[in-house]
């Protein structure tokens, strides 16, 4: 490491007529309201500890000093780049812009202006010289309302600069007569420690050392910085940096953790070989990438650029597509949504694993559908057999699948997943007593929703699945066909607990609107059966009239060979028959052979 300088400087010494750029591995300006208001509180409260009513600016020389922290600068080839501290410098610049507008003394206005905007080599510009931010800074500097700003607001820094300036407008509340003394104190008595490096490698080493404890930057920030630091061409680096920023911005629009989760899913899907790799990627993926350069074939500057420009761009885009498919029902990606409904968060690396950057769009979608369907079948076979589907239980199984299907063709993928389903999971017929219990009501609800919707679709009607998922007054509930009245079945059950166990079997359950369940849930079966005629096909099928004027339903029965039949009464034997019907329904909906249908 070359020479490193450190010097305490006032804000005036640091910013007056000094031009700063931002290093390529820096994150966006991300301070939120709390950080800005905390800074204003610190500055104003320290100032007011010294200020007395009637003080003149010349008396500030006797005020106490205030230390605002450190910034790190890379002084390379005549340019000064901020390595660490851009959040504070940006916020201070916004505060200075606000002070410039509040001041009345022209001399102070000119001093403050010098800290914001200055002449360098014959060109006027902002002292914090960041091209992406120039339009919003121009707007603020000239006094335009940020509400009407229509620049490049899709960039996180621009949005945050506009929002934080509003915070300063709303929160900074010194009196008019206090402002001159405050400005002099801010410029002459507030210090920052400036640490200066003189080589790019040293600058990044300092940056990494400062932030690799997870205190300031996220792992995705650290990975971005590391990858960009390995790209030699400034033009290529800037282009790749823009790709990274745009992809991260899109991912942040989904959820707070999605930028990190997308990178984990990508790296696990394409590179993890064993549980150690999975754990390493899950904890500190930026460090894992750095430690596995040879395995990742990251050797040249071009390799690092391609890693972002092709790999990250492709897999982060597909992750975004998958996350969108978990939020709403997308045609062709229904199983992705169903898996998410069961809170199966491990699906993303599996769905990404067989994808290749060079795959055509239709091939990508086909592979995703096959993998999602495999998981849908696996999940529901396990649920039916009372097996856990939590991440803790499923992790090892899932991690063993990913390397096996990585980069496979559609036909190879189908063969592998079909073989695994037949070999590793229990069939529905293994548990003829599947029932509702205290811990699986949500899972039973989802299974009934799928069954009810499947019968509807196969009978020629449109899907109502999203209606079944509604909440509020129009929501659906699990309905017991038998009312909770053991006395009405005393001749068939010697003990009340035996009746309750039978009543909770899935064959004795339906999915009905909450208002229907409330209105006749305690009625006798004979009364309920008439009401069921107004409900879904699965409920209607208990009544003989459902088989009279429903050609689509009748054709479905003939085609599927499912044992649908009406039940004039609903005794123990009737519930047994419905239990077998539901089991057969499950076997059709979650049939492993459906993988081949999609593949063909």
Residues 6+ positions from 540 with CB-CB distance below 8 Å: 532, 533, 546, 550
Distance, in Å, from the CA atom of 466 to the CA atom of 334, rounded to the nearest integer, reads 11
Residues 6+ positions from 242 with CB-CB distance below 8 Å: none
Q: How confident is the model at residue 521 (pLDDT cuts 50, 70, 90)?
A: low
The per-residue pLDDT for 153 is 55
Helix axes 313-327, 234-252, angle to 10 degrees: 10
SS (H, E, C) 496-546: HHHHHHHHCEHHHEEEEEHHHHHHHCCCCHHHHHHHHCCCCHHHHCCCHHH
- Angle (CA) 35-41-44 rounded to 5° is 140
Residues facing residue 588 across a β-bridge: none
Asked if residue 57 lies in contact with residue 156, where contact means CB atoms within 8 angstroms, the answer is: no
Distance, in Å, from the CA atom of 22 to the CA atom of 129, rounded to the nearest integer, reads 8
Distance, in Å, from the CA atom of 116 to the CA atom of 126, rounded to the nearest integer, reads 6
Task: Render pLDDT for 374-390 as a digit per residue (tens, 0 to 9).
Answer: 999 999 999 999 999 98
Q: In this structure, what token pair is assigned to residue 529?
A: 């059966």
Tally of CA atoms within 13 A in the half-sphere of 132 that contains its CB:
21
Task: Render pLDDT for 452-467 as a digit per residue (tens, 0 to 9).
Answer: 999 999 999 999 999 9
Tally of CA atoms within 13 A in the half-sphere of 128 that contains its CB:
27
Integer angstrom CA distances of residue 596 from 339, 360, 369, 417: 20, 20, 11, 10
Q: How confident is the model at residue 203 (pLDDT cuts 50, 70, 90)?
A: low
Evaluate if residue 117 carries a pLDDT over 80: yes
Least confident of 21-30, 307-316, 571-580: 21-30
Q: Which long-range contacts (CB under 8 A, 24 or more apart) does 464-473 make?
A: 464/536, 465/329, 466/329, 468/511, 469/341, 473/514, 473/515
DSSP string, 316-355: HHHHHHHHHHHHS--TT-HHHHHHHHTT-TTHHHHHHTT-
Query: What is the three-class DSSP state of 25?
Result: coil
Asked if residue 371 lies in contact with residue 599, where contact means CB atoms within 8 angstroms, the answer is: no
Q: How confident is the model at residue 215 (pLDDT cuts 50, 70, 90)?
A: very low
Higher per-residue pLDDT: 85 or 546: 546
Q: How confident is the model at residue 213 (pLDDT cuts 50, 70, 90)?
A: very low
Q: In this structure, what token pair is assigned to residue 189?
A: 């008595």
* Antiparallel, parallel or unpaired: β 476-480 and 509-513: antiparallel
Exposure letters 514-529 (e unless 16+ CB within 10 A, then b): bebbeebeeeebeebb
* Percent of the chain topping pLDDT 70: 92
Tally of CA atoms within 13 A in the half-sphere of 596 that contains its CB:
7
The per-residue pLDDT for 463 is 94
Residues facing residue 195 across a β-bridge: 6, 72
Residues 6+ positions from 117 with CB-CB distance below 8 Å: 124, 125, 126, 127, 141
The per-residue pLDDT for 201 is 61
Distance, in Å, from the CA atom of 4 to the CA atom of 203, rounded to the nearest integer, reads 10
Query: What is the three-class DSSP state of 438?
Result: coil
Higher per-residue pLDDT: 518 or 233: 233
Integer angstrom CA distances of residue 55 from 101, 182, 491: 22, 10, 97
The per-residue pLDDT for 409 is 96
Distance, in Å, from the CA atom of 463 to the CA atom of 3, rounded to the nearest integer, reads 69
Residues 6+ positions from 589 with CB-CB distance below 8 Å: 380, 450, 451, 454
Helix axes 441-458, 551-560, angle to 10 degrees: 110
Higher per-residue pLDDT: 194 or 150: 194
Q: How confident is the model at residue 207 (pLDDT cuts 50, 70, 90)?
A: low
pTM for the predicted model, two decimal places = 0.73
Distance, in Å, from the CA atom of 436 to the CA atom of 345, rounded to the nearest integer, reads 24
The per-residue pLDDT for 185 is 95
């Amino acid at each position: 490491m070359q020479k490193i300088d450190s010097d305490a400087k006032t804000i005036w010494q640091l910013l007056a007529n000094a031009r700063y750029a931002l290093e390529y591995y820096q994150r966006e300006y991300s301070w939120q309201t709390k950080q800005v208001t905390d800074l204003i509180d610190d500055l104003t409260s320290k100032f007011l500890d010294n200020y007395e009513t009637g003080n003149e600016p010349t008396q500030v020389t006797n005020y106490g000093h205030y230390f605002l922290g450190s910034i790190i600068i890379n002084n390379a080839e005549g340019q000064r780049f901020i390595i660490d501290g851009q959040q504070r410098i940006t916020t201070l610049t916004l505060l200075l812009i606000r002070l410039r507008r509040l001041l009345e003394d022209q001399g102070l206005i000119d001093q403050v202006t010098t800290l914001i905007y200055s002449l360098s080599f014959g060109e006027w510009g902002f002292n914090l010289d960041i091209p992406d931010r120039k339009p919003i800074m121009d707007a603020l500097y000239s006094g335009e309302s940020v509400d009407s700003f229509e620049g490049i607001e899709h960039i996180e820094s621009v949005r945050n600069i506009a929002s934080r300036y509003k915070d300063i407008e709303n929160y900074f509340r010194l009196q008019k007569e206090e402002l001159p003394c405050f400005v002099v104190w801010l410029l002459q008595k507030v210090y920052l420690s400036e640490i200066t490096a003189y080589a790019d490698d040293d600058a990044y080493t300092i940056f990494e050392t400062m932030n690799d404890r997870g205190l300031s930057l996220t792992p995705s920030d650290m990975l971005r910085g590391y990858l960009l630091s390995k790209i030699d061409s400034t033009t290529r680096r800037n282009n790749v940096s823009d790709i990274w920023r745009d992809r991260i911005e899109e991912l942040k629009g989904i959820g707070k953790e999605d930028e990190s989760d997308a990178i984990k899913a990508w790296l696990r899907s394409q590179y993890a070989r064993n549980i150690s790799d999975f754990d390493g990627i899950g904890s500190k993926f930026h460090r894992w990438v750095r430690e596995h350069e040879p395995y990742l074939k990251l050797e040249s500057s071009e390799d690092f650029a391609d890693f972002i420009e092709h790999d990250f761009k492709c897999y982060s885009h597909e992750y975004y597509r998958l996350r969108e498919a978990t939020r709403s029902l997308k045609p062709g990606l229904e199983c992705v949504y169903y898996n998410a409904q069961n809170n199966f968060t491990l699906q993303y690396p599996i769905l990404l694993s067989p994808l290749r950057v060079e795959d055509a769009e239709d091939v990508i979608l086909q592979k995703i559908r096959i993998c999602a369907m495999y998981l849908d079948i696996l999940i529901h076979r396990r649920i039916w057999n009372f097996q856990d589907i939590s991440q803790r239980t499923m992790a090892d199984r899932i991690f063993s699948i990913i390397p096996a299907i990585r980069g496979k063709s559609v036909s190879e993928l189908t063969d592998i997943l079909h073989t695994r389903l037949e070999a590793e999971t229990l069939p529905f017929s293994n548990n003829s007593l599947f029932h509702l219990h205290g811990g699986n009501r949500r899972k039973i609800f989802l299974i009934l929703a799928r069954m009810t919707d499947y019968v509807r679709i196969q009978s020629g009607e449109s899907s109502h699945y999203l209606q079944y998922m509604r909440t509020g007054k129009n929501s659906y509930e699990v309905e017991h066909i038998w009312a909770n009245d053991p006395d009405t079945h005393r001749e068939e059950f010697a003990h009340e607990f035996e009746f309750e166990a039978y009543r909770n079997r899935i064959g004795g359950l339906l999915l009905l609107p909450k208002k229907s369940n409330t209105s006749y849930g305690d009625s006798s079966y004979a009364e309920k059966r008439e009401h069921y005629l107004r409900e879904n096909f699965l409920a209607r099928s208990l009544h003989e009239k459902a088989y009279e004027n429903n050609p689509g339903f009748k054709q479905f029965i003939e085609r599927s060979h499912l044992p649908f039949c009406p039940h004039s009464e609903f005794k123990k034997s009737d519930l047994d028959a419905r239990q077998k019907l539901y089991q057969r329904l499950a076997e059709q909906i979650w049939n492993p052979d459906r993988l081949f249908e999609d593949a063909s």
